[in-house]
A = this chain, B = another copy of it.
């Protein structure tokens, strides 16, 4: 085993930690929306269907902490706060949107599998 191969479990852990973000549906939506350019909190909130004020604040803080987003406060009254993707955030959009495109293209196959599984497991209500 070469020294570089000794780190395989560590590599998995790294990947998991970073891609945990992809399963956070709010984070994915925010990153994709900010692909257009910088936005205010209220604009992001409107674009991300169903997100609460608190959840969006938490999401944006996580994205800022991980280096995907910058947060700039302008000293107006009330303060204007703008969020923008960093270069790292822009780079993340490619693998995320590939996964999203795959998901959209294959959604009907997943939906069919779920329906078949539920029917097989006897959990499906029979339509009248």
Contacts and interface: CB of A to CB of B under 8 A. Distances in A.
Interface residues of A, number: 47
A73 interface: no
Interface stretch (A34-42, A52-60, A74-82, A91-99): A91-99
A24 B22 CA distance: 9
Contacts of A109: 67, 88
- Greatest chain B CB density within 10 A among A95, A101, A109 is at A95
Nearest to A87: B109
Given A13-B49, A17-B103, A95-B98, 20 more contacts: A14-B103, A15-B107, A16-B29, A18-B110, A19-B23, A19-B25, A19-B100, A19-B103, A20-B25, A22-B22, A23-B24, A66-B113, A67-B112, A88-B106, A92-B102, A92-B106, A94-B102, A95-B102, A98-B99, A99-B99
What are the 5 A-B residue pairs with the smallest beta carbon separation, nearest first? A23-B23, A67-B113, A18-B103, A16-B25, A15-B100
